[in-house]
């Protein structure tokens, strides 16, 4: 029988890869020791990457960029094992242009690294965010119908329940904690997706994002908006061993979140 392999996945909204590189980014990666690392909000174009960013030792890197605006959005992924397939273009012009998704297919699961839209700027951006959720869940359901097991990670830009942010009541009318946004996460759970951090830590108060204002991180006045969701079958098969939030890693207004698999 083939011995099982432990795989550590890390997801981190870096709020500008060039900025975080100046703040011990590479040392933080060594400390976290991921097998697969997913970054959101890289704010890069292809020609702005350095060799150091592209060629992280022992990793293959994959990138998706915003084509509608420079210095905006963008995602990247690093993997020790080369995926069987990588997709960054989903033949959807409305959503592809902001460079928000990388799909990586492995033998046991399909992994999505996603920077979901922020709806705070305007009603139009809130509608865009909700439409993006709908598009993605429909796309993901097609893969599930083919029998694929999914892992979905990234910055969802929505706190799910009162436990997931410091001040739920004052923020109930603010995008990021609107009922209509939270309903999407309810829908995901109803569809058989599992919020892995809550699966292992149902009552733990821990956040993954803090405003740069009002000493929010120092006072731990944060939001949990970065997630690892998995399809229920991965839980049922006992492949998901732990989920965590690493508040000790600095450099961004978000901290990394993680998942440990045994496959």
Catalytic residue positions?
155
Separation between Cα atoms, residue 243 and residue 259, nearest integer Å: 4
Q: Which of 224, 229, 225 shows the shortest CA–CA distance to 259?
A: 229
Q: Which of 159, 147, 244, 140 shows the shortest CA–CA distance to 196?
A: 244
DSSP assignment of 179-227, as one string? HHHHHHHHHHHHTTEEEHHHHH-TT----SEE-SSTTTTTTT-EE--EE
How far is CA 36 from its chain centroid? 12
Q: Pairing mode, if any, of strands 85-87 and 101-105?
A: antiparallel
Separation between Cα atoms, residue 177 and residue 105, nearest integer Å: 31
What's the token pair of residue 213? 């204002």
Separation between Cα atoms, residue 97 and residue 94, nearest integer Å: 7
């Amino acid at each position: 029988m083939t011995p099982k392999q432990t795989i550590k996945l890390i997801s981190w909204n870096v709020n500008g890869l060039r900025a975080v590189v100046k703040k011990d980014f590479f040392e933080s990666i060594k400390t976290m020791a991921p097998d697969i690392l997913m970054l959101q909000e890289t704010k890069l174009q292809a020609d702005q990457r350095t060799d150091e960013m592209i060629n992280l030792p022992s990793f293959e890197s994959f990138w998706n960029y915003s084509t509608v605006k420079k210095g905006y959005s963008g995602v990247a992924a690093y993997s020790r094992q080369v995926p069987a397939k990588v997709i960054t273009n989903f033949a959807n012009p409305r959503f592809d242009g902001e460079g928000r998704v990388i799909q990586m297919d492995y033998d046991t699961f399909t992994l999505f690294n996603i920077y979901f839209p922020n709806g705070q700027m305007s009603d139009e951006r809130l509608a865009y965010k909700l439409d993006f959720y709908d598009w993605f869940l429909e796309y993901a359901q097609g893969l599930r119908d083919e029998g694929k097991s999914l892992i979905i990670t990234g910055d969802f830009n929505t706190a799910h329940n009162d436990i997931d942010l410091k001040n739920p009541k004052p923020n109930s009318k603010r995008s990021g904690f609107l009922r209509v946004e939270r309903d999407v996460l309810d829908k995901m759970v109803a569809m058989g997706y599992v919020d892995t951090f809550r699966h292992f830590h149902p009552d733990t108060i821990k956040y993954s994002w803090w405003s740069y204002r009002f000493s929010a991180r120092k006072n731990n006045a944060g939001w949990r908006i970065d997630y690892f969701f998995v399809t229920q079958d991965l839980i049922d098969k006992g492949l998901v061993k732990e989920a965590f939030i690493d508040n000790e890693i600095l450099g961004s207004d978000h901290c990394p979140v993680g998942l440990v698999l045994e496959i």
